[in-house]
Amino acid sequence: MQSVRNSSDKKTWVWIDTSDKLKNALEDISGSSNISVDTEYDSLRYFREVLCLIQIAAERNTYLFDPFDRFPFSFLGEVFADNSILKIFHAGDNDIRILKRDYGFTFTNIFDTQKAAAILGCRHLSLPALVLRHLGIEFEKEKKMQRSKWNARPLQEEQILYAVQDTMYLKALCRVLDQELQQKNLKAKAEKLFENMSALTWKEKAFDPHKCKRIKGYEALTEPQQACVNRLYRWRFHKAEETNMALFRILSDHYIIDLARTGATSVEMLMETEILSPEKVTLYGQEIVRIIRQCMP
């Protein structure tokens, strides 16, 4: 993928796909006194978030690192751990958790623009709102881009624009917010929050057996049907965990209710209900039928 130029910023956005680009990125990032950091990850389609892109804005350029590619970026671990380099995030909690989980990186010397703005009493904490308020620059971030398929390759140009915008204004915003924190004697409070961010760790989702009782239609079911919902709900969680698929991609909540009502005791009966697609019946039919049978009075 070629570098893309932002005509207003006069900087190139470099997709790291050659050894030369990687070398230049290493020199620029390691030689910068501060860098802006962001990631794009897919938490919609997967049980466990999948990291899809790492964006680093350094002194000269913004660099895009592809976790699915063969070009290594382990040197970022040394940069993130280097206390002499300031790492600027916006709402960076999950970015840090996922980078720690996937690569074992550690972090020191952090500044988070969202947390800083919250301490200063800002009501609107989105990046576009803060950039407009403090820098007088108006830009839009399409929400649909956040949910786009970041694991697809090649990325679309609008996805790249969305990604680089997340780091484009962080350095200037950091300077303004940091000055205001000092003026209002809030710097120590902010630094404590930033230090806590360094200690963040990623945790596996925990199964909650009581959440299924809040599914619409649960209360109207018979006791055996409710027992079936409980078992299907638990089965879905562990199947999603095993396959790293989002829960709804296994079975949606209303499908679980409908399946509990059917009393289908064979794959053939399950197919006849037309609740699930033939593909899902093929994938999960035997397991679902077994659960239904176990709950029959």
pLDDT digits 0-9 by tens, 27-58: 999 999 999 999 999 999 999 999 999 999 99
Dihedral, CA atoms, 86, 92, 94, 98, nearest 10 degrees? -30
pLDDT over 90 (residue 123): yes
Look at 295 and 5; give whichever has higher pLDDT: 295
Residues 288, 100: Cα–Cα separation, whole Å? 36
Global model pTM greater than 0.85: yes
Distance between start and end Cα atoms, the chain: 60
6 pLDDT band (50/70/90 cuts)? very low
pLDDT value at 2 more than 50: no
Euclidean distance between CA atoms 223 and 241, whole angstroms: 27
Q: Binning pLDDT at 50, 70 and 90, where does residue 143 land? A: confident
Q: Which domains does the chain have, with CATH numbers?
A: 4-198 (3.30.420.10), 211-295 (1.10.150.80)
Please state the rounded mean pLDDT for residues 14-35: 97
d(CA 35, CA 115): 17
What are phi and psi for residue 54, nearest 5 degrees?
Answer: -125, 125
